[in-house]
Amino acid sequence: FQPKLLAGRKVVMTAGPTFEAIDPVRGITNTSSGKMGYALAQACRRAGAEVMLVSGPTGLPAPLGVDHVDVRSALQMRDAVTAALPGADVFIGVAAVADYRPVSAAEHKVKKSSAELTLTLTPNPDILAEVAARPDAPFCVGFAAESRDLDAYAEGKRRAKRLPMLVGNLVQDGLGGDDNQVILYDDAGRHPQPRAPKTVVAQRIVEHLAGLLVTRAAR
Per the CB < 8 A criterion, the answer to whether 47 and 7 are in contact is yes
Number of helices (H) and strands (E) in the chain: give both, helices first: 6, 14
Told to check if 128 binds ligand PMT by CB under 6 A, we report yes
Number of residues that bind ligand PMT (CB under 6 A): 27
State yes or no: residue 35 binds ligand PMT (CB under 6 A). Answer: yes
Count Cα neighbours of 91 within 13 Å in the Cβ-side half-sphere: 27
Rounded to the nearest 10°, the torsion over CA 187, 188, 189, 190 is: -100
Q: How far is CA 141 from CA 40, 73, 111, 116, 120, in A?
A: 12, 21, 43, 42, 31
Distance CA 95, CA 127 (A): 10
Candidate residues 42, 124, 199, 203; the one interacting with ligand PMT per rule CB under 6 A: 124
Q: Is 30 a known active-site residue? A: yes
75 is annotated as contributing to ligand binding = no
Tell me which of 27, 138, 142, 164 binds ligand PMT, using CB under 6 A.
Answer: 142
Given 28, 175, 209, 213, the residue binding ligand PMT (CB under 6 A): 175
Show the binding pattern over residues 82-121: x = contacts ligand PMT (CB under 6 A), - = does not: -----------xxxxx-x----------------------
- Closer to ligand PMT by CB, 41 or 213: give it: 41
Sign of the C-alpha dihedral, residues 148, 153, 158, 161? negative
Catalytic positions, written as ranges: 30
Annotated binding-site residue numbers for CTP: 99, 109, 125-128, 143, 157, 161
Binding footprint of ligand PMT on the chain (CB under 6 A): 14, 32-37, 74, 93-97, 99, 124, 126-128, 142-145, 157, 169, 174-176
